[in-house]
Amino acid sequence: MIARKIALVACAAALTTSPAWAHGRSDHSTPSTRSHKCTPHKVGYVAAGTLVDQTLTVDATTAARGGSQPTYSGDVTIAVTKTNHAAKGDKGTTKTYTLDHARVVLGLDDQNNDGRVDLADLARGDRVKVIGKVTKLAKKCDQTGFTPTLTIKKLIVHAPAQQPDAQS
């Protein structure tokens, strides 16, 4: 009687657990499947420098909703002086970035004395940083037909750095 119960439990356990081959998973057996490493993935993208020009506008959808954090769209041209590894090709160039519903942080004082800090306070020479994501493929993957996509999510603006006074 005990042997039957043990055999019954063993059979039930064998039936409830199924091997991977029973589910039709052939990820590792078929050589024609692509590695997940060769699918595009997003990496962080950071570039900083000085503002050359901008054509930003407040997005109508956030302005109409009265959102606490409006988003902005348009173009920002930056003389790039610092980058992270993903943006290293932009260092030392003047590049135009396109923002689409991006958050803008204005760390400025009211430059035009209208009582608020907004896009009208931006000026050529302000320090800016763009933060976003860019799609990449692994180095060993076939790069034909792949075009990286850059998505800027945040723009941070600060006043130009103060030059220390030369005192004798």
pTM exceeds 0.75 for this model: no
Strand stretches in the chain, DSSP E = 41-54, 57-58, 71-83, 94-107, 127-136, 150-158
The model's confidence at residue 87, banded by pLDDT at 50, 70 and 90, is: very high
Q: Which of 93, 92, 161, 155 is nearest to 125 (CA)?
A: 161
**pLDDT-derived band of residue 29, with 50, 70 and 90 as boundaries?**
very low
- Inside any domain, residue 30: no
Residue 14 lies in a domain: no
Tell how far CA 97 is from the center of its chain: 13
Q: Would 16 be classed as within a structural domain?
A: no
Q: Is residue 49 part of a domain?
A: yes
The pLDDT confidence band at residue 156, using thresholds 50, 70 and 90, is very high
Q: Which two tokens stand for residue 96?
A: 């135009």
Alpha helices, H only, 17-73? 60-65
Pick the closest to residue 59 from 104, 15, 126 (CA basis): 104
* Residue 75, domain extent: 36-158
* Domain count across the chain: 1
